[in-house]
């Protein structure tokens, strides 16, 4: 176990930063408490730098190139999210303290909120480091458990806090259900293979096939983890939770648990391998993922067209994007090139989605209105009318991010979607490509509806004002710039995602001897040509 420390430095940095944030946030001095955001930012910058230098190809990793790409990705999008969630907690309490109220650490939540923010990001990073079922379970729960509390804390005012409490309760109980399902699946996977380690599990499947117990375990594990990515049929909480949470918190939920869940599904499915001449998964798993992908993108897009609330619309949009990414997981490593590598397409799309979706939520978080005598974030699409005229920076940032989410060329979202289409075509999954195209057309309706409101319609009659948190506008601008600039760096980023998607799978056409379940987790992986032939796709 000690040799894994070399792969855990980004998580160690986040752990130290979270502990420091907890202490700083409880200081009686206002000037010290205000440094929590700065400490988080420095922590994430260091974690991103350390993550780039993370070694690749450990023997215990089923996806040996994943860590050097996933960890910097999570840290960099985490920095963008940090700008958006700034000012979410303690704004009213700090104003009261400045007006003369005595400081009471029990009334402030800054320390807990920002430390939980870092802990959740740490959990997502640990998912990419997972080499066995136990590690993956703990990483998924570390990602999710802080978010339940963060959702509750994100409400502002009596009405807002009541909504966030309701959202937190719904999220918690449905999250517990999802965790119970995938934990039961993990137990069956262990019972069907005799090991918790992914590489040894892959060896077992290659040597003995997939037993009914292991197959049932894999199906339950995928269904349970589907809660993290808000995929059908585990999607019902999404719209209510996103609407009840603050916009910054909704942006966090749309990226961090989704990234952890998508990485987890990639890791789990990689143990089965994409075998045969057409590089497919076992029939039951392939059919399950196919059905989930089609239903997720279709249900998400259709329900998004019916929404008048921009937060609920983006919630259903996030469901649809999970369906798009599941197409890449179905395709698998493909022929090895980026154009046919579905896993590389998923990793690249996670980057694109993180930037453009966070930018859309950042614009919403930057605006406020009066609601029931209290200050609240904008809610309706109609609130965004004329935004390009009244607040050009926010308006055009929203337009660029919405067009990118649509996949409009030549900005980032377009380059993120193209590999999903080409990889599916390259693997002969024409029906999936048709569903992708149809759903992209459906999505055009509600994305362009927001674009038209911001660009073409007269300003809203109800008074809309700035939220008074400049970092949110900065986050919106950076995200909008990102959908343009990152598109110019597409080849470099695609190459990095291709290396991240390398899989340690069984060589097609070779017979395998029974795997030794008691082998050490870090034992060398057999080379191609041996009894148990392996290759990097």
pLDDT band at 5 (very low <50, low <70, confident <90, very high): confident
Q: Could you please report the per-residue DSSP string of 461-476?
A: SS--EE-S-HHHHHHH
Rg (CA), the chain: 23
pLDDT band at 338 (very low <50, low <70, confident <90, very high): low
pLDDT of residue 378: 86
CB 229 within 8 A of CB 221: no
Average of per-residue pLDDT across 103-125: 92
pLDDT band at 278 (very low <50, low <70, confident <90, very high): low
Q: What does the alpha-carbon distance between residue 113 and residue 25 come to, in Å, rounded to a whole number?
A: 9
Q: What does the alpha-carbon distance between residue 217 and residue 194 come to, in Å, rounded to a whole number?
A: 13
Q: Cis omega before residue 325 (within 30°)? A: no
Mean pLDDT of the chain: 87
The token pair at 368 is: 């406020």
The token pair at 253 is: 């939920």
Question: Which of 280, 125, 132 minimizes the C-alpha distance to 199?
Answer: 132
pLDDT band at 529 (very low <50, low <70, confident <90, very high): very low
CB 164 within 8 A of CB 155: yes
pLDDT band at 533 (very low <50, low <70, confident <90, very high): very low
pLDDT of residue 76: 96
Strand partners, 353: none
pLDDT band at 360 (very low <50, low <70, confident <90, very high): very high
Of 464 and 2, the one with more pLDDT: 464
CB 91 within 8 A of CB 372: no
Q: What does the alpha-carbon distance between residue 250 and residue 167 come to, in Å, rounded to a whole number?
A: 11
Stated as kind and residue range, the H or E segment containing 535 is strand 534-536
pLDDT of residue 9: 93
Average of per-residue pLDDT across 116-122: 97
- DSSP 8-state secondary structure symbol assigned to residue 132: B
CB 314 within 8 A of CB 396: no
pLDDT band at 421 (very low <50, low <70, confident <90, very high): very high
Q: Residue 77: pLDDT above 80? A: yes
In degrees, rounded to 5, the angle at the alpha carbon of residue 488 between the alpha carbons of residues 487 and 494 is 65
pLDDT of residue 373: 64
pLDDT of residue 496: 87
Order across the sheet with 367-371: list the strands.
374-377, 367-371, 465-466
What tens digit of pLDDT does each residue of 57-67 get? 778 889 988 99
Q: Could you please report the per-residue DSSP string of 430-456?
A: HHHHHHHHHHHHHHHHHHHHHHHHHHT
CB 350 within 8 A of CB 134: no
pLDDT of residue 161: 75
The token pair at 522 is: 């870090």
What tens digit of pLDDT does each residue of 363-413 get? 999 998 876 667 778 888 988 999 999 999 999 999 999 999 999 999 999
CB 104 within 8 A of CB 95: no
Q: Residue 296: pLDDT above 80? A: yes
Stated as kind and residue range, the H or E segment containing 534 is strand 534-536
| Least confident window among 30-44, 90-104, 265-279, 501-515 | 501-515
CB 44 within 8 A of CB 75: yes
Average of per-residue pLDDT across 269-282: 79
pLDDT band at 55 (very low <50, low <70, confident <90, very high): confident
Q: Residue 523: pLDDT above 60? A: no
Strands of 363-461 (E only): list them.
Answer: 367-371, 374-377
pLDDT of residue 526: 37
Of 198 and 521, the one with more pLDDT: 198
Of 205 and 515, the one with more pLDDT: 205
Q: Residue 241: pLDDT above 80? A: yes
C-alpha distances (whole Å) from 483 to each of 73, 210, 356, 411, 476 are 15, 42, 6, 6, 11
What tens digit of pLDDT does each residue of 487-496 get? 998 888 888 8
Of 499 and 330, the one with more pLDDT: 330
Residue 104 neighbours by CB distance under 10 Å: 10
| Least confident window among 86-90, 241-245, 451-455 | 86-90
Question: Which of 118, 110, 106, 115 minimizes the C-alpha distance to 87?
Answer: 110
Give me the helices (H) in 99-156, please. Answer: 110-129, 133-153
What tens digit of pLDDT does each residue of 213-223 get? 999 999 999 99
pLDDT band at 294 (very low <50, low <70, confident <90, very high): very high
| Least confident window among 269-278, 298-307, 426-435 | 269-278
424 Cβ contact partners less than 8 Å away, ≥ 6 residues apart: 327, 328, 330, 331, 342, 430, 432, 433, 436
pLDDT band at 512 (very low <50, low <70, confident <90, very high): very low
pLDDT band at 511 (very low <50, low <70, confident <90, very high): very low
SS3 41: helix
Percentage with pLDDT > 90 across the chain: 67
Residue 520 neighbours by CB distance under 10 Å: 11
pLDDT of residue 244: 92
- Cα torsion 170, 320, 284, 336: sign: negative
What tens digit of pLDDT does each residue of 434-450 get? 999 999 999 999 999 99
Strand partners, 370: 375
What tens digit of pLDDT does each residue of 17-41 get? 999 999 999 988 888 988 999 999 9
pLDDT of residue 527: 36
pLDDT of residue 61: 86
pLDDT of residue 531: 30
pLDDT band at 503 (very low <50, low <70, confident <90, very high): confident
Q: Residue 349: pLDDT above 70? A: yes
């Amino acid at each position: 176990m000690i040799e894994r420390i070399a792969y855990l430095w980004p998580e160690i940095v986040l752990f130290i930063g979270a502990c420091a944030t907890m202490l700083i946030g409880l200081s009686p001095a206002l000037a010290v408490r205000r440094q929590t955001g700065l400490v988080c930012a420095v922590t994430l910058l260091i974690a991103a730098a350390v993550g780039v230098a993370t070694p690749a190809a450990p023997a215990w990793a089923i996806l040996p190139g994943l860590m050097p790409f996933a960890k910097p990705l999570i840290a960099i999008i985490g920095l963008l999210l940090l700008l958006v969630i700034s000012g979410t907690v303690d704004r009213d309490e700090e104003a009261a303290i400045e007006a003369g109220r005595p400081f009471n650490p029990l009334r402030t939540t800054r320390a807990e909120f920002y430390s939980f923010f870092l802990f959740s990001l740490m959990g997502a990073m640990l998912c990419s480091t997972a080499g066995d079922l136990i590690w993956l379970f703990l990483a998924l729960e570390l990602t999710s458990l802080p978010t339940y509390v963060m959702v509750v804390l994100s409400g502002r005012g009596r009405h807002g806090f009541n909504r966030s409490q309701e959202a937190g309760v719904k999220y918690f109980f449905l999250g517990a259900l999802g965790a119970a399902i995938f934990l039961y699946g993990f137990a069956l996977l262990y019972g069907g293979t005799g090991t918790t380690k992914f590489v040894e599990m892959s060896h077992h499947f290659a040597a003995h096939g997939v037993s009914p117990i292991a197959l049932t375990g894999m199906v339950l594990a995928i269904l349970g983890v589907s809660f993290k990515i808000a995929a059908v049929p585990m999607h019902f909480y999404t719209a209510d939770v996103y609407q009840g949470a603050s916009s910054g918190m909704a942006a966090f939920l749309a990226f961090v648990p989704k990234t952890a869940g998508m990485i987890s599904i990639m890791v789990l499915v990689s143990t089965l391998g994409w075998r045969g001449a057409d590089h497919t998964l076992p029939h039951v798993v392939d059919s399950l993922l196919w059905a989930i992908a089609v239903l997720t993108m279709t249900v998400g897009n259709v329900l998004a067209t019916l929404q008048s609330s921009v937060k609920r619309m983006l919630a259903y949009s996030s469901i649809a994007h999970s369906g798009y990414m599941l197409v890449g997981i179905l395709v698998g490593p493909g022929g090895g090139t980026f154009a046919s590598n579905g896993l590389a397409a998923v990793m690249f799309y996670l980057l694109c989605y993180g930037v453009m979706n966070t930018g859309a939520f950042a614009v919403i978080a930057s605006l406020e209105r009066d609601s029931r005598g209290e200050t609240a974030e904008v809610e309706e699409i109609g609130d965004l009318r004329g935004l390009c005229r009244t607040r050009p920076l926010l308006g055009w940032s929203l337009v660029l991010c919405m067009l990118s989410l649509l996949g409009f060329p030549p900005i980032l979202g377009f380059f993120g979607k193209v590999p999903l289409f080409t990889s599916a075509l390259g693997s002969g999954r024409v029906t999936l490509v048709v569903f992708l195209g149809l759903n992209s057309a459906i999505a055009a309706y509600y994305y362009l509806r927001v674009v038209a409101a911001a660009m073409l319609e007269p300003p809203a009659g109800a008074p809309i004002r700035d939220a008074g948190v400049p970092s949110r506008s900065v986050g919106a601008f950076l995200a909008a710039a990102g959908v343009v600039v990152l598109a110019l760096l597409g080849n470099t980023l695609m190459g990095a995602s291709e290396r991240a998607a390398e899989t340690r799978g069984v060589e097609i056409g070779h017979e395998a001897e029974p795997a030794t379940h008691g082998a050490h987790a870090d034992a060398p992986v057999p080379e191609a040509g041996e009894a148990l032939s392996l290759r990097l796709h």
